Structure 1
Amino acid sequence: MTDLPTSARVVIIGGGIIGCSLAYHLTRLGWRDVVLLERKALTSGTTWHAAGLIAQLRSSANMTRLAKYSQELYGALEEETGVATGFRRTGSITVALTAERHEELRRTAAMARAFGVEVDEIGLGDITRLYPHLNTDGVVGGVYLPKDGQGDPGNIALALAKGARGRGARIAERTKATGVTRTGARITHVAWQAEDGTQGQIACDHVVNCAGMWGREVGRMLNTDVPLQACEHFYIVSEPIEGLSRLPVLRVPDECAYYKEDAGKLMLGAFEPRAKPWAVDGIPEGFEFDQLPEDVDHFEPLLEQAIARMPMLGQAGIHTFFNGPESFTPDNAYHLGLCPGMDNVWVAAGFNSIGIQSAGGAGMALAQWMDAGARPFDLGDVDIARAEPFQTNRGYLAARVTETLGLLYADHFPYRQKATARGLRRSPFHAQMDSAGAVFSELAGWERPGWFAAPGQPRAYRYSWGRQNWFKNSAAEHTALRTAVGAYDMSSFGKLRVEGSDAESFLNHVCGGDLSVPVGRIVYTQFLNETAGIEADVTVTRLSETAYLVVTPAATRRADQTWLTRHLGQRRVVVTDVTSAEAVLAVMGPNARALLQAVSPDDLSSAAFPFGTARRIEIGMAYARAHRVSYVGELGWELYVPTEFAAHLFDTLAQAGADHGLRLCGMHAMDSCRIEKAFRHFGHDITCQDHVLEAGLGFAVNTGKPAFIGRDAVLRAQDAGITRRLLQFVLSDPGPMLYHNEPILRDGQIVGHLTSGAYGHSLGAAVGLGYVPTDGRSAAELTSADYHIDVAGQRIAARAHLRPAYDPTGARTRA
């Protein structure tokens, strides 16, 4: 008979390695009323059959931080709990079979150095020495991470569970969460039923969805959206191979393969380019330690490549052909954090085949978040608030995950676009943009012109680490924005209407800037947290005495709306997503005023229509609300028009545009212009862990107004000074390309990494932004130091700027 308490501080649903890690870390923080419910046996979903590869390096500094923590934790767990985890540092090798992959690996090695991960770039001699069984035909180079490792996934999870139990957690196996009681935005009780027929409910303060491939269905039970889908994942294990000694983990991503030696056997796993979704209509009720039917035909092409690459596989018999399910998400990043729309429902699920290496860090980070009520550091890469509700659609998920599994080992080219599940969200300008040659990129489901193809030019991305096929197209669009006039579609940007009698005081509470402004005034500002980290980067336009429009990046609309609603309290304010109500066309460049004046009788002079204001104007036979702001650093307006008038507005401007040099522009041109102006990109250059003063955005904060979130932290930093600063870097060599995460060297030592990068066509070189320590230096000393940027192992001299290298006074914007 199952004996569970009637109340708990937290109920965790799911007993894989993620749920066990969270229970372990919560109890380490002193939580005692922790209950974990597992429908069958611990680890019986995905954890038990995971490959157990434990790597340190991930695609961002904080994800690497979590992976390194996992490795350190697993190394100490056995001593703490007495459960053998099988953890050992074997090292890992990744080899490249193409020049492009080799470039990726060299850039990866540079990134590892910036993140403090030990890494060696190795040639054929070292590869053969470290992995003598590998056929090196076609291998052009590789990287070696000596501290990577491997472990026994099931035992690691059981060790975490034992550690949690030892500090008071209750872990109930064969006990299913069957329902919940919800009051408003809170779950008050979780109902459970054990296999022996016992049932009950637990009153709780928090609920956490750690249900793995069941996460989508459990999410629905908890009134939340958790987009993930199980896919079949294949590997084989050989018969024992005589003389096979310990080897590093080996990855050959160009052949979609990884190899792991374990107890004298060799495992071959694969991430095939086109995966097979599994159980789209629901996972069988009795699923427990199950494997899926073999599919030799699906796996055979990869096996043939592997036998050629690792000849010993062709001589050894196959002991196990395994096919098991693992959960994947639409963007290959797992889901972590407090779920939008609910106040006490959390999630840690959808780990995309990196659950073992991620579980320790993810459990630690989520436990700290739950304990403190705030993220311990930036987790934007995996924050569940990035997920859009439409992404839980089963048809969408089934289509998208056929691709995302394979993308784990595909070339990670900059600007790489997903090919599946496209065309979902189209702006009212989509048809006109398409007719004009737009090549669409995708963000949060939105189809947005990335660049425009010339007549007869293939309308497709051709990827590279160098100048891609659209480089010249985007340069011409960039030039139009700088020298004539360009138009780009901003309809995907989030639009949140904040309305009510308390709207002004509410926005003054959540924003660093002063929102007590006249109607028609636009305020550039940030939502700050209690440490003055940046939670959102927005413009706020006062529409009336009681209404404002908050404009947010497309990728963070839901997160920003969630931040606002969670801070409403008892204020008389309503926050409404009105993104789809209006289309937005940005018209920017020195000729923007002349173009708009040709189609509008309204006075658009600076005297009548100054920068930072918005008002209604006539365009053709329609009205638009024109916002005089700019994200490209030129004279211009963002034109907001009801969706039904969008086609007319577009056609009116296009017809008049020929006389003014109008060119349609894509997102890449916008990005290259903004980085020349050192305009920050949220999620890269500014995050919740970046102090607003360190980011150089103190001008957008008004500490003279009444108390607002983060005010005390701003005042403390003003008194004590800041210890690091965001700088702009312009390369001295016009050849190399910058993207992000390239190491910054000052006087020969790594002091940081670029947070974003793009080519500055007006400046004639690549440009990046990145934080460096101030070390007590004055502004002049900070910028005059000797800086280099590590681009794939090559140190390129760079000039540092505190003010933007392009139009540092901002005169062009206010022309």
Structure 2
Amino acid sequence: MAALPSQADAVIIGLGGIVGASVAHHLIEQGWTNLVGLEKSALPSDIGSTAHASDFCFMTSHDRLGCYTTTYSQRFFAALGHYRKVGGLEVARVGDEARLAELQRKVASGKAFGTRVRMIDADEAVERFPLLDRAQVLGAMWDPDAGLVVPRSQQVAGELVERAVQSGHLRAFAETEALDIDVRDGRVQGVETTRGYVATPRVIVTSGIWGPIPAAMGGAALPLMPVEHPLLFFGPFTAFAGTGKEIGYPLMRDQGNSAYMRDTGDPSSTEGGQLEWGYYESCEPRLVPPRDILERHQARLSPSMRDLGLEQVETAFERAIELAPVLGELGWDEKHSFNGLLSVTPDGGSLVGEAPETRGLWLCEAVWVKDGPGMGKLLADWMTRGHPEVDPCGIDIARFYPVQKTPRHVVGRCEEIARKIYDPPVHPREPFESGRDLRRGPFWPREQALGGYFMEAAGWERAHGYAANETRLAGYLERVPERPVEWDARHFWRVSNAEQLALSDDVGMINLSHFAIFDIAGRDAEALLERLSVAKVGGNTPVGKGVYTHFLDAFGGVHSDLTIVRLGAEAWRVVCGGDTGHRDLMWMLRRAEEWELTHFQLEDRSDGLATLGLWGPNARRTLQALADDPAALDDTRFPFATAREIRVAGLPVWAFRISYVGEQGWELYVPASYGLALWDRLFDAGVVPVGIETYANSRRLEKSLRLQNVDLLTDYNLVEAGLARPRVKDAAFHGKPAYLEQRERNQQPATLCTLVMEEHHDSTGRPRFPVGQSPLLDPESGEVPVDALGRRSYTTSIAYGPSLGRNIALAYLPPEYAREGGSLLLEYFAEHYPMRVAAVGYRPLFDAENARPRG
């Protein structure tokens, strides 16, 4: 065995699985030449999840990035000669119309995100997978590109490591455990191993179910829990004897029973002559803390393969026999059946990126085999170029606030995610049951007393509407349409739209205490914010001036949208959305370090300040009636986009005149201890409490306002998003060269447009109110428009706008479709609805000042 080198450009901990091997492969492709890989077991690993994975690859999910990583991985496996494209079907059983509808929704997601899935009838399903009982099948989804990694992803991992070693750019060490990660002054310096110490500025953790252990060595909390996954084998099954195939039939998912099934091919092949049946426990999933996983010498099969008994799956197995009776006819291979361990996270997403706690500690965790090569490429691009091909906001480890990575929170959320791996279908607005009441602003007692309909975001409890308003605003409620289809109405409250109408007629207040607020001051504060921001926030920007701006990545992609207010000569307040706040914080701190801007202080004010939005045509009159100096609120003395300290009935309030709802008014910031007093004074003055639904969805879209990580992504630039400023500031800023090039194009590859649904009744006459992201289709060809960069058109946001009486959507469209008055179709649950392009680029559809619709 070669000696451990004294230095490496990066050390991979957990090299022997498909993820670690893929990371090494793609880093070398990107030009890395001095890598060290550590594996505590053999190479490839014989103890991790890769060693026993079912190796399924289905292409489609309701997640754009997931479709990207899976389709990339499928092509990668195929190029290596390790993929059998046998296809796959997902079945809906007779009587389970909800599952059939979910499959229709998944077909739409496939069209939106670039896969080839389609619906098939029961006869075709049985023809493709003859083991099904035709009487049990209602319909199915067919994925022609689904298949199996053969003979195993474990072998692929081994081959990738071998190639990397042969290239001379990776030195791999089996049976070598990382004992500690050397971190000094917040930076990785090296790794202590059972073979000695290797100095390195970067450590990449790809340890799968053990991931939290090495992450903790590096000072980072990794919110991940392993969960047991029953995997059973039945045989002998000889249908493919003599064929030499590793698999004969397509893959089959029975997600309504939280299960899947496949054959293992010719009895003479690697693991042939059986039927494999897997199950995800949807009632009481069994989480296993990483430190409780057995060591190799303690385990009967492998540390990641735990014993199981048939009683664990009894009910589900009985249902499985109903669908595929052959399972009941074959013998159970008790010796080789087991509970495999896989990783789940608090929101179901992978954990990728540089750890917020430690510079140089990179993570690529909670990744399925079907995504392994794709995630390896994404991380390699990120580490090499500073920019993955697809916006990583949904997998970036920095998306979690520290409070969301505490053990109790992680266990509760992971248990909930584990219950929903296959069943039931997860609604786009699905709230979590666990980890609630984590962050409650000072207004919460009043909101609860009003019957707040609470949802959660970034740990904050946010009321989307108030039951008390169902009586108070009964007249407005009559103007809000019913939603007769339960899916459209789920986790939505009609009173929210009534509250918006009342706000537009008079005045309302919205709890915005979920804002992430950072005060930055000091000698380098201006240099940092100017270099980050597209807009000018320093220089001669006056104290009290607020500026809506963006942070770009180096390639001109939109990383953040936020508001920055100058508080003093060397002081600014940065206000971010709650969901994006922690990523924005890390972006600021990491760029400051890279640019050696250290002379500033950053204070997180998010928990200490409470915020109320006060908006509506009577907002000024209402606030003046309570203000100690009413005249100071006149339009000429308090112009738009300015902020200053005022007194409201004696309370100290920092008032910022800005609006995200298209009505005049202010964001009112107070120390949390004054929050209830401010609420009570406004409520007693007749101000209607309005839920966050108006702010976040319905009025936002009536005003064609964009949302970061949904409508604004690093995949698109500010010109395409319709948010390019009239002039480019003289000062340099991050991403400026790319931004200048983008502005100079004769034509953008796509433009973010606002569309309205011209007719929203389905084939049975029921009005529909789409939720989630849906594909847009050319009315003539039925195909999804694709721009010159290969990006597909789908609704990034959609909501019903009560002031317009229309469903409104945002979508990026190629030039030939980005024309006002142009027509497209929206696919929603297998039906098509006509959409009209109402605005190209940024243009509000509702003019609040004149209270009339436009477009």
The answer to whether the superposition gives a TM-score over 0.5 is: yes
Measured at CA, do residues 811 and 714 of structure 1 come closer, stay the same or move farther in structure 2, by a change above 3 Å? farther
Deviation at 1:397, TM superposition (A): 2.1
CA deviation profile, 1:392-432 (whole Å, cap 9, x unmatched): 32222222222101212121212111112222222222222
Matched, 1:472 2:502: no
User: What are the residue-to-residue correspondences of 1:571-590 with 2, within 5 Å?
Assistant: 571=597, 572-590=599-617
* Residue of structure 2 equivalent to 1:121: 119
* Residue of structure 1 equivalent to 2:505: 483
CA distance in 1, matches of 2:436, 2:77: 40
List alignment gaps of at least 5 residues for structure 2: 241-246, 266-272, 472-482, 761-766, 786-792
Match of 1:750 among 779, 784, 808: 784
The answer to whether the 8 A contact 1:414-1:463 is kept is no
* Residue of structure 2 equivalent to 1:502: 524
Measured at CA, do residues 468 and 327 of structure 1 come closer, stay the same or move farther in structure 2, by a change above 3 Å? closer
Deviation at 1:155, TM superposition (A): 1.6
* Residue of structure 2 equivalent to 1:35: 36
The answer to whether the 8 A contact 1:475-1:669 is kept is no
* Residue of structure 2 equivalent to 1:82: none
Match of 2:709 among 679, 683, 697: 683
CA distance in 2, matches of 1:552, 1:279: 34
The answer to whether the 8 A contact 1:249-1:260 is kept is yes
The answer to whether the 8 A contact 2:754-2:811 is kept is yes
Deviation at 1:296, TM superposition (A): 3.6
Deviation at 1:798, TM superposition (A): 1.3
CA deviation profile, 1:530-572 (whole Å, cap 9, x unmatched): 2221110001111122111111111111110111111223332
* Residue of structure 1 equivalent to 2:577: 553
Deviation at 1:200, TM superposition (A): 1.2
User: What letter is aligned with 2:39?
Assistant: E
User: What are the residue-to-residue correspondences of 1:279-294 with 2, within 5 Å?
Assistant: 279=289, 282-286=292-296, 289-290=302-303, 291-294=305-308
* Residue of structure 2 equivalent to 1:196: none
User: What letter is aligned with 1:739?
Assistant: V
The answer to whether the 8 A contact 1:509-1:709 is kept is yes
Measured at CA, do residues 163 and 387 of structure 1 come closer, stay the same or move farther in structure 2, by a change above 3 Å? farther
CA distance in 1, matches of 2:451, 2:736: 48
Matched, 1:147 2:142: no
User: What letter is aligned with 2:110?
Assistant: A
CA distance in 1, matches of 2:136, 2:308: 31
User: What are the residue-to-residue correspondences of 1:523-672 with 2, within 5 Å?
Assistant: 523-568=547-592, 569-571=595-597, 572-603=599-630, 604-657=633-686, 662-667=688-693, 670-672=696-698
Deviation at 1:809, TM superposition (A): 8.5
Matched, 1:706 2:706: no
SS of the residue 2:177 aligns to: strand
Deviation at 1:596, TM superposition (A): 2.0
* Residue of structure 2 equivalent to 1:81: none
CA distance in 1, matches of 2:253, 2:486: 21
SS of the residue 2:846 aligns to: coil
SS of the residue 1:476 aligns to: helix
Match of 2:759 among 733, 741, 746: 733
Measured at CA, do residues 251 and 226 of structure 1 come closer, stay the same or move farther in structure 2, by a change above 3 Å? same
Measured at CA, do residues 811 and 704 of structure 1 come closer, stay the same or move farther in structure 2, by a change above 3 Å? farther
* Residue of structure 1 equivalent to 2:827: 790
Deviation at 1:469, TM superposition (A): 6.3
User: What are the residue-to-residue correspondences of 1:262-301 with 2, within 5 Å?
Assistant: 262-263=264-265, 264-273=273-282, 274-279=284-289, 282-286=292-296, 289-290=302-303, 291-301=305-315
Matched, 1:771 2:780: no
The answer to whether the 8 A contact 1:94-1:253 is kept is yes
The answer to whether the 8 A contact 2:758-2:836 is kept is yes
The answer to whether the 8 A contact 2:213-2:291 is kept is no
Is 160-169 or 311-320 further displaced after alignment? 160-169
User: What are the residue-to-residue correspondences of 1:517-528 with 2, within 5 Å?
Assistant: 517-528=541-552
Matched, 1:347 2:363: yes
Measured at CA, do residues 38 and 503 of structure 1 come closer, stay the same or move farther in structure 2, by a change above 3 Å? same
CA distance in 1, matches of 2:662, 2:132: 53
- Aligned-residue Cα RMSD (Å) equals 2.4
* Residue of structure 2 equivalent to 1:358: 371
CA deviation profile, 1:468-509 (whole Å, cap 9, x unmatched): 363422221222232232222111111111111232232111
Measured at CA, do residues 486 and 99 of structure 1 come closer, stay the same or move farther in structure 2, by a change above 3 Å? farther
Is 538-547 or 276-285 further displaced after alignment? 276-285
Measured at CA, do residues 311 and 451 of structure 1 come closer, stay the same or move farther in structure 2, by a change above 3 Å? farther
Could you state the TM-score of these two structures normalised by the residue count of structure 2?
Answer: 0.88
* Residue of structure 1 equivalent to 2:409: 396
CA distance in 2, matches of 1:812, 1:322: 64
CA distance in 2, matches of 1:448, 1:77: 49
Deviation at 1:805, TM superposition (A): 4.9
CA deviation profile, 1:75-110 (whole Å, cap 9, x unmatched): 1224xxxxxx4x311211112343333222212212
* Residue of structure 1 equivalent to 2:700: 674
The answer to whether the 8 A contact 2:209-2:290 is kept is no
SS of the residue 1:539 aligns to: strand
Deviation at 1:144, TM superposition (A): 0.5
CA distance in 2, matches of 1:135, 1:452: 49
Measured at CA, do residues 453 and 122 of structure 1 come closer, stay the same or move farther in structure 2, by a change above 3 Å? farther
CA distance in 2, matches of 1:620, 1:812: 31
Measured at CA, do residues 266 and 739 of structure 1 come closer, stay the same or move farther in structure 2, by a change above 3 Å? same
User: What are the residue-to-residue correspondences of 1:184-223 with 2, within 5 Å?
Assistant: 184-193=185-194, 199-223=195-219
Match of 1:326 among 309, 331, 342: 342
Deviation at 1:695, TM superposition (A): 0.5
* Residue of structure 2 equivalent to 1:379: 392
User: What letter is aligned with 2:507?
Assistant: V
The answer to whether the 8 A contact 1:104-1:412 is kept is no
User: What letter is aligned with 1:247?
Assistant: Y
User: What letter is aligned with 2:454?
Assistant: F
User: What letter is aligned with 1:277?
Assistant: L
The answer to whether the 8 A contact 1:564-1:575 is kept is no
SS of the residue 2:728 aligns to: coil
Deviation at 1:726, TM superposition (A): 0.4
CA distance in 1, matches of 2:670, 2:801: 31
CA distance in 1, matches of 2:569, 2:844: 39
* Residue of structure 2 equivalent to 1:103: 101
Deviation at 1:280, TM superposition (A): 6.1
Deviation at 1:723, TM superposition (A): 1.9
* Residue of structure 2 equivalent to 1:47: 50
SS of the residue 2:71 aligns to: helix
User: What letter is aligned with 1:414?
Assistant: P
Provide the aligned length of Structure 1 versus Structure 2: 787
Deviation at 1:783, TM superposition (A): 1.9
CA distance in 2, matches of 1:652, 1:366: 51
The answer to whether the 8 A contact 1:479-1:762 is kept is yes
Deviation at 1:205, TM superposition (A): 2.9
SS of the residue 2:381 aligns to: helix
Could you state the TM-score of these two structures normalised by the residue count of structure 1?
Answer: 0.92
CA distance in 2, matches of 1:674, 1:360: 38
Matched, 1:62 2:65: yes
CA distance in 2, matches of 1:217, 1:435: 44
Is 325-334 or 265-274 further displaced after alignment? 265-274
The answer to whether the 8 A contact 1:416-1:463 is kept is no
CA distance in 1, matches of 2:470, 2:656: 36
List alignment gaps of at least 5 residues for structure 1: 79-84, 194-198
The answer to whether the 8 A contact 1:738-1:767 is kept is no
The answer to whether the 8 A contact 1:486-1:587 is kept is yes
CA distance in 2, matches of 1:469, 1:397: 24
The answer to whether the 8 A contact 2:706-2:712 is kept is yes
Deviation at 1:463, TM superposition (A): 9.7
Deviation at 1:674, TM superposition (A): 0.4
CA distance in 1, matches of 2:291, 2:161: 31
